[in-house]
Structure 1
């Protein structure tokens, strides 16, 4: 398996998700297992995932307050969906 670098916030969130799975199911789950499942779920709804990246900026920061938020997405018209497989 390839190694990927995650920022601290993403690592914390991943670990919180793992803890929630362990609490609710009673079964431990590795980071790799969790990431595999998340990718599988995202792949099943890949057009929604692609839509998240169709804006010029996924997140913006308000210059006055410093608050980071996700603006309304403006979708770019595209052609017919093509299967990835």
Structure 2
């Protein structure tokens, strides 16, 4: 099953350049559909980085910042009941 995807001229031109470069460097002729499929698979493998590329500015934390935030947040083996939570929050 094939579905048409609309893209602007700049994206279409880059796709054609990529197609030509693949042919030049590998000697293998690939379709634009094959290229897009491979690009999607690559994006899925690097999902977090790909998703973050759509963010405006630098709003997400780096992996080290997330790790630093989470350090000491969980005390293994310590039970917390509702009264403890109330005391902490209020």
Bin the TM-score by the shorter chain. Answer: 0.5 to 0.7
Which one has the bigger strand percentage? 1
Secondary structure, aligned partner of 1:53: coil
Which one has the bigger helix percentage? 2
In the other structure, the counterpart of 1:14 is: 15
Matching residue within 74, 78, 83 for 2:58: 74
Secondary structure, aligned partner of 2:19: helix
Instruction: Tell me the TM-score normalized by structure 1.
Output: 0.66
CA RMSD of aligned residues (A): 1.5
Task: Could you tell me which runs of 5 or more consecutive residues in structure 1 were left unpaired when the two chains were aligned.
Answer: 56-72, 81-85
Task: Could you tell me which runs of 5 or more consecutive residues in structure 2 were left unpaired when the two chains were aligned.
Answer: 67-90
> Structure 1 residue runs of 4+, over 2 Å off?
none
Q: Give the structure, 1 or 2, with the largest relative contact order (CA under 8 Å, sep 6 or more).
A: 1
Listed one character per residue, the Cα deviations across residues 34-59 of structure 1 (whole Å, up to 9, x for unaligned) are 0000000011001001111121xxxx
